[in-house]
Every structure is written in C-alpha cells, then in structure tokens.
Structure 1
C-alpha cells in the first residue's frame, strides 16, 4: 500500500518505518519501490523524536531537489511509549512553485499598482496642477496683449486660489492706474489745447497790434511829409492874399487854396490822433511773475518745436512801474 501511495503521489519521495524497543533503534523493514531518493535518517534524530514523542520537521537537499522530512512518533495507547517512528520525505517543489507563483503575482500586482498610481498622478496633475496653471498662463498672456479687464476665476481656496486672488488684485490696481493715467492725459491734452488756443489768439492780437503800429508809423510819416508842404502852400497863399490889388478871380482862388490846405491839415491831424497808441497804464509789475506768465503762454509752442528754454531769475529783483500789457507784448516779440 505504501509503495502504491508513493507511486501515485509524486510529492512523496520516501517512507521509512522504525520500531523502537527500550529506545534502541531497530530498522525493521524497507518497502521496495517505496523510495524515490536515497537517504539515511540520522539515528540520533530518530532517537530524540522517539524519546520526546513529538513530531519534527527537517529540510533536506536530495539529488532530485529540495525536500521536507517528517519524523512522526507512534505511541502505544496502554503504555504511552513510542513503538514506531515513521519517516516521510516529500519534495518541496510545490512550495517552490507556490513561491514562484507568489513572486510572479507580486511582480504583476506591483506593476499594476504602479500603473494605477501613475494614472492617478496624471489625473491629479491634470486637474490639480495642469488645468489651473493653463488658465493662469492664458489669462497672463491675454493681460499682456492689453486686455486689462481679464481676471483669473477663483474656483478653489488652495495655493492656486491664493495665487489667482493676488493676480486679480494686481490686475485691478494696474487697471485703476491706467485709467487715472488716461484721465490725466486727457486733462493735459485739454489744457495744452486751451493754452495753445490762447497763445494763437494772443499771437493774432500781437500781429494785429504790430500791423496797427506799422500803419500808425506809416501814417505819421505821411502826415509829417504832407504837413510840411501843406504849411508852405498855406503860408504862400496867405502871403499873396495880404499883398492886395488882386483881380477878384485870383483872390477867390487864393482863398480856396487856403481853405483846402487848412482842411487837409485838419484831416492829417485827425489821422494822427486816430493812429496814436492809447495812453500807457503804469502800475507796479513783478518781473518774475510777468515773465513766468508770458512763458506759460508760449510753452506749448516751444515744446512742439523741440525748444527747451531755461530761465534763471534772481529772487531779489524788485518790482518796476510799467505798462503790463506793453511789456508783455515786447517780451512776446522777443521770444
């Protein structure tokens, strides 16, 4: 039966039976064909198992590979003494196969776990890092193109949310600064246009005044040039009238000459009075204040022409008594 058992069970390598009398080892029987490997049990080991009446496992190395040996004591029910010791040797290839399968399963499980971890990390990066980062970068790019109203939507309260909040605050401040700059620019443009208009009007008045001055000078010159011969003509006519004994026709013509010269002289005097400039209005004038006021009128034109004027005034310059309008006109002509 043992032989059949060994032949049918490939895991069995050997079965040995020992009989024990007074704790002496007596090898009683060897079943032919019941052994697959050659092995001799140590007598001391069999004796210790019989004395202890406890089974013992040992690891063996046979010619056919690793094996496990079992010494099992069989005791008597009456005397409780060990009568037989059964030694069984089984191949441990099954354990090796189980271990190999376990190792393969461990490797496969580890690879699968790593794949799952990588997938989780990829998804986490996509939703936790990639998507918020792409939104921030896209908003910054749009902000750089001049779309200052763009803001980063705050969907979370983590570090990305804090970053978006700080960026939005910075963008709001930049937008306010740009709005103030635009408003200031429009205000400055309006002031420059108004100052330019005043300068143009003042220049027109100056040109008109210059024309009137030139006309007055020309008129005065003509009046002087015409007045001298008129006085001579009138004097000669009166002298001829005083001589008397003139025919009535000549006397009438001399009287007509005197009357017409007097009329022309009156016309010349009227022209002189009309072209004479008004009487000056003298007052206390601050040179520094008048000069700064005059420069403010021509500053837009000088900036447009690329001219930089540097003025150095002594703070101790006293006021002068002068016609403010005529002095300003003279300064404008000089500038």
Structure 2
C-alpha cells in the first residue's frame, strides 16, 4: 500500500501538479515554466506534449510581437506620409490663394510703373545739364526698375504656366544651368562637386521651367556661402524606379528650424534688404508641383542646406524630342 501510494504521488500527482502550476503561469503570461519529464510513461508523454505546446506558444507569441512591431512601423511610416501630404496640400492652397492676389496686385501696379519709368527717362534726356536732378532721376529709375522686377516675379508666380514637356536629359540640364551661373562673382570662391549618375534616364519635363528652378536653387546656395564653401550636386534614379532625384547640398550658414516651414512662402527671405524678393523658391515650388514632383529641404544652422527635387519618371518615347 505504501509503495502504491508513493508511486501514485511521485509518478502521477506531482507531474500533474507541475502541469497545473505551469498552466496557471501560462494563463498569467509566463511561458518560461516547463514541466520536468521524470518518466517515459503516459504521464511523461503528457509532460513532453505540454512542453512542445509551450514551445509553439512561445513561437506564436514572438511572431505576434514581431508582426506588431512591423505593423507599428508601417502605421508610423504611413502617418508621416499623410502628414507630409497634408502639409503639401496646405502649401498648395496657400500658394494658389496668394497667386490670385499677386496677379491682381501686379497688374494694378504694372501700368503706373511703366508710366513712371517712361517719364523719368524723358526727363533725364531733357535735364542733362542739371547733374543734381539727373542723380535724383537715376535713383527714381533704379528703384522703379527694382519694383518692376518684383512685379515681374509676382506675375511669374501667379501665372502657373502649364509645363510644355519634352524629353530631356536631367544631367545635361544641370550642366547647362551651371554654365550660365558659375562664372558669376558669387561663385568665385565656391567649389562645385558634380556627382551625376550617368544611368539617369531621359524624362519628360519643361526644360525652361526646370532650368529656372535649378538656377534659383544654385543662386540661393551661393548666397548662403558668401565666404566660399562647397556645393555638391547629386543626381540619381530612385531605387523603386519611380522618379529622378536631384540634390543640391551647400556648406553655408543653414536655415533656422523655425524658418524651414516658411522658405517656400512668397516674399519670405532671410537675405539682406534689396538682395532678394523672396519669390524664387515660391515660384520653384509651383513649377515642381505642376510637374507632379516634390521639392524638400533639410538644413542645419552652421552646417548647410540640402534641397532635394524629385521629378517623376515618364516614358520619354511618348513625345518626340524637339
């Protein structure tokens, strides 16, 4: 009787109690409590099956946790994309409203300006013998011309010309734009590094409009490095094969974080008075948007600025080259 009682206690009751304890632990979320296998009989097989189930539960939990992490990352990535799209929509709506206002203002100002310039030139011819008045008239002409330039910028900003797309080599367009500006005085102490990927394909774009964008970005970069520096231009095809990206990176003064959200706003500029109208990047933003592309900026004060332009890949064979 004692032997039978000992056998039942050690061979059946203890293993079953151990399984009960492990079951409770599992219910509490602890999957580390395995049942010791003390025999090769049915109870031992039950304990072994229980431990196999525990291993599968651990694996299933790990897979769920991994899936949860991946899902969280995807949700965060999509949320960032939605926030970016929302900001782009807000910027587009703001620019559209300002464009309509700018168009009306520019047309109202343009006619009087033309009259002032015309009569100033007439007076300058008539008053050649009066140097003092000549000097005053020259000042009027100079300042009126400056205002006229701003008005032209306003009209360019408001016009929203539809891109006349033709097949174009982006690298060639970059080099051509550089040839137009790199001999200017502002580029004298700037080293230009060209990392242009030869594999960048021919894409459809309006060369004149995109050249205007490149020129605006190049001149802004030069203005940010008055004491000299390095301007790196990088072109590449996107890994997912959906767009061509052009990056302009300077080693200039950088843009304060509080200004980053405003650099594409019309008339916003950190340049010295009379040095810029603050319309260049606003016009550029509109051009890239009408090409269904993106223009983004990253900057750090004291380290420099990167402006990245993404232009969508379109089949160039659809339109004959000009």
Q: Same fold (TM over 0.5)?
A: no
**Class of the TM-score when normalised by the shorter of the 2 chains:** 0.3 to 0.5
TM-score by length of 2: 0.42
TM-score by length of 1: 0.40
